[in-house]
Structure formats: C-alpha cells, structure tokens
Amino acid sequence: MTKDTTHPAATTRRGALKTLAAGAAAGCLPLWARYAQAQTSEPIRVGFQVHRTGIGAAYGRWYDRTTNAVVQQINEAGGINGRMVEIVAEDDGTDPKRGAEMVEKFATQHNCDIGFGTLFSHVVIGSAPRAGELKLPYFVVSEGHHVASGMLNRYTLQPGITDVKSQVQAMAPYVSSSLGKKVTMIFPDFAFGHDHRDYFTEALAAQGGEVVAQIAIPPTETSFTKYFPKIPRETEVIYHVMVGPAVLTFVKELGEFFGPSRPEMFGFIDSLEAVELASPGLEFLEGTYFWEGNPRYAQAEQTEFDKHYRAAVGVDANGASVSDPKDISTYAHMFGCWETLYTVKAGMEAAGYQGPGDRAALIEAVEAMTDIPASNEHPQGAKLFNGKTHQVFGHQYISKVVDGKLVLQHTTSIEDTFYPDEVDYTTQPL
C-alpha cells in the first residue's frame, strides 16, 4: 500500500502501511509497531456479528470457520502489536433489529475494539447507524453498495470484499457480448437484490442491452415455480442471483421449468453457495456461466496464496470441507473475513492502536490505504481501497460449468470495476 497524500495529517506510521499490507515479516516492522502494546496483555476484542441462524446461516457457518482460521494464524504469528486477538461472537439471526442490538452489546457490554463480519445487506443497513453513534469501527463483509453509496457513516468500512455495483459493472460487457442482449433478471427482494436490479440494468443498457423483465422473489420463499411464467419469451439470457436456504430448490425448479430448451444463463454464485454442483437435478447447469468472487474450484493456474488459504481454512480443491466432501463452502464470499481482519491488523499496527481511545486513528489509518497486493493475507487477488468511499475494488471472475465443475473463463481488471465516487466519508467528523 502507498501513503495517501490527500490526508495532510498522514503520519510516518501510515507510511508503514505499504510494509504491513504486503505481509512483511515481523522483524521488518518498525519498533513502535512491534512493541507499542508491550505494556498490556489484554487481548484485542473483535465483536463478530455472525449469521448463525436465519436465511444467512450457511454463510455464517463458513464466515465463522474462516474467521477462526485467520485469527489462529494471526495469533500464531504474534497477534497484533504483540496482543492476541479474541473473537466475541454473537448471533444476529440475520435480522436487522438484532444486528443493531449486537453492535450495542459489543460496544457497551463486551468492551470490543471493533465490530466485524456482517454479510446480509439489510442487517448492515440496520446495524451501521448504531455503530456510528457508538463510534465503534464496523468492518462489514457484505457486498451491497450501501457503504460506497454514502448512506452509512464514517465508522462503517468494507475493505475486504467488493460491492455489487462494481461487480455487475464488470460483468455486463461479458454478458452482452457473449450471451445475449435481452435479459430477464431474477433476484431476492431486499437491498442486495435491489442493488443487482438497479446497477445491472444500468450497466447492461450502457452495453446496448436491455433488461426485459425484473422478477423479485422474497428471500424466505421456499418454492419458485410460480414466478417462472413471468419470464418473457423474447428472453435471451436468464440472470439469476438467489440467497437463503432454498437456493438448491430454486435452481432445480428453474431447470425443471425450462427442460432442455433453456435460454443462456448467467448466475451469481450466490444461487449455489454451499450447494454441491453435482446435486441431482442440476445437470441443466452444464454450459451455463457464473460470477464468482473467488473461484470455488482450484484452477489450473492456482496461486500459492490460494493454496495457503485453502489449507488454513480446511477447504479442498473442489471447495468442500476437507473433513466432509459434501460440506460445500461459501468460497466466493468468505475470503472477505480473512482479508478484512488482515486489513484491520495492518491498520492497527499503522495507527499504533492501544485501545478504544485510538478508534479514530484506526479509521484514519485504514482510510490511508490504497494498493493491496495479492499475498497470503489477500489470497483472492490484488485490490485497491478507496479511503473516501470506504470500499475496496478488485478482480472479478466469470466461470463456466464444464463437466460438472466451475472452470474460470474470464478475469476482469480492477479498473473494470471502477465507478465515480458518491461520497467522501473523510469529510465527516470522527
């Protein structure tokens, strides 16, 4: 990472971010970063807002597993500024109201240094205002555009995973040029799905394409057949993104509806996260395409960083648990937990973080980050963090189902995901 010269108060500590983010050995760190916390043995407490129940439970289980793996690795390497990291986990039920209550508990009962981990966008939107009021740094691992849109606050950041607006902007040219220009969208009827609806429709139009129908489905729906007759005959491409425990039912019923004469299909892997691709009834997916935030299957040109990460979280080359080949991970998303906590580590070390009194300094240190190179700490790929919008930008992956596995077809550039800033959080008071 490079020093952000737009911040006049940027310090030598912030300049060290380049070294920290690159995963330099502890011996290369400045003395203040290694020993600033020598006077305390208190752990750094991370309030982990985890979807253990509710529609986000499959993601929550793997976010939990990934978070425990990264904390173990950080602690085995000496922790953060010589202090161990302790996870304080609370189940928010994938519910916005409970999410806000969890944030309050982290700040007022558990004495947490930060809040972390939230995925589902409606829970982020329900929780972030309280984090801002309590001045609790809130590092979300979501994908909604709510952070970068400016609707939240300076204490809410998304530095470890890209947002829907950048993803669909990078996908639209491929869909339009390779699959078709008349698209029907099927998406969940809440904030995350609305981001897909709004930003893909806009991005496809810019490519000369047209969304001919938008089909919103409640995220708690358990049967989907009644929605499919709404798909216009002129449809050339089905664009689908579905979430929740019924995703397998969704894709099975979609296949049953079309039979052998389906249009082209482009899905976001959310429709199949935690689902075995070889499940009976999914044969029709052969030859269809998916966006992946991180390729589930180890590819022919797998990086050493991906090998390291898979081993640490206990995921095999097919994206399943090494202890149970039927236990499929949420591989396209959970890397965000790993990368976010390494970003927190870099920020705390750059800020000389000692405790809650340094929360503002932590926010400023993360805002000063820019280039994030691919590494064991950032195995999904290189990224660029925008300190003004609190949003990270990175590569996107398009895979095709070939012989029952997802095979990478196209990797976007980081530049493909850029859009104009909509907010400058650094102008807000801390």
117: CB partners within 8 A, 6+ apart: 48, 49, 50, 63, 67, 139, 140, 141, 337, 340
Distances, alpha carbon 261 to alpha carbons 238, 255, 257, 264, 285, in Å: 13, 10, 10, 10, 12
Can you tell me the distance from the alpha carbon of 391 to that of 272, in angstroms, rounded to the nearest whole number?
25
Tell me the average pLDDT across 171-180: 97
416: CB partners within 8 A, 6+ apart: 169, 170, 173, 396
b/e code 376-393 from CB counts within 10 Å (16+ = b): bbbbbbebbbbbbbbbbb
pLDDT at 158 over 70: yes
User: What local confidence, expressed as pLDDT, does residue 40 receive?
Assistant: 63
User: What local confidence, expressed as pLDDT, does residue 41 receive?
Assistant: 79
Distances, alpha carbon 97 to alpha carbons 9, 94, 131, 145, in Å: 37, 9, 13, 20
Q: How confident is the model at residue 1 (pLDDT cuts 50, 70, 90)?
A: very low
User: pLDDT digits over 97-143, tens only?
Assistant: 999 999 999 999 999 999 999 999 999 999 999 999 999 999 999 99
Distances, alpha carbon 376 to alpha carbons 95, 330, 340, 373, 379, in Å: 33, 19, 13, 10, 5
Beta strand pairing call for 182-188 and 210-217: parallel
User: What local confidence, expressed as pLDDT, does residue 417 receive?
Assistant: 97
Domains recognised in the chain with CATH numbers: 12-162+332-394 (3.40.50.2300), 164-292 (3.40.50.2300)
Residue with tokens 């304080």: 88
Residue 412 has φ and ψ, to the nearest 5°, of: -75, 160
Residue 201 has φ and ψ, to the nearest 5°, of: -55, -45
Q: Are 51 and 63 in contact (CB under 8 A)?
A: yes
User: What local confidence, expressed as pLDDT, does residue 258 receive?
Assistant: 93
User: What local confidence, expressed as pLDDT, does residue 25 receive?
Assistant: 41
Q: How confident is the model at residue 23 (pLDDT cuts 50, 70, 90)?
A: very low
pLDDT at 19 over 60: no
User: pLDDT digits over 331-386, tens only?
Assistant: 999 999 999 999 999 999 999 999 999 999 999 999 999 999 999 999 999 999 99
Q: Are 363 and 372 in contact (CB under 8 A)?
A: no
Q: Are 158 and 142 in contact (CB under 8 A)?
A: yes
342: CB partners within 8 A, 6+ apart: 23, 70, 74, 377, 378
pTM for the structure as a whole: 0.90
Can you tell me the distance from the alpha carbon of 10 to that of 29, in angstroms, rounded to the nearest whole number?
18
Residue 25 has φ and ψ, to the nearest 5°, of: -60, 150
Q: Are 112 and 106 in contact (CB under 8 A)?
A: yes
Q: How confident is the model at residue 170 (pLDDT cuts 50, 70, 90)?
A: very high
Percent of residues, the chain, with pLDDT higher than 70: 91
Residue with tokens 């300049």: 15
**Closest of 340, 298, 337 to residue 316, by C-alpha:** 298
Q: Are 392 and 160 in contact (CB under 8 A)?
A: yes
User: What local confidence, expressed as pLDDT, does residue 29 receive?
Assistant: 46
Q: How confident is the model at residue 244 (pLDDT cuts 50, 70, 90)?
A: confident
User: What local confidence, expressed as pLDDT, does residue 180 receive?
Assistant: 98
Task: Give the residue with greater pLDDT, 4 vs 305.
Answer: 305
Q: Mean of the per-residue pLDDT values for the chain?
A: 91
Q: How confident is the model at residue 260 (pLDDT cuts 50, 70, 90)?
A: confident
Residue with tokens 């209550």: 101
Residue 227: count of CB within 10 angstroms of its CB = 17
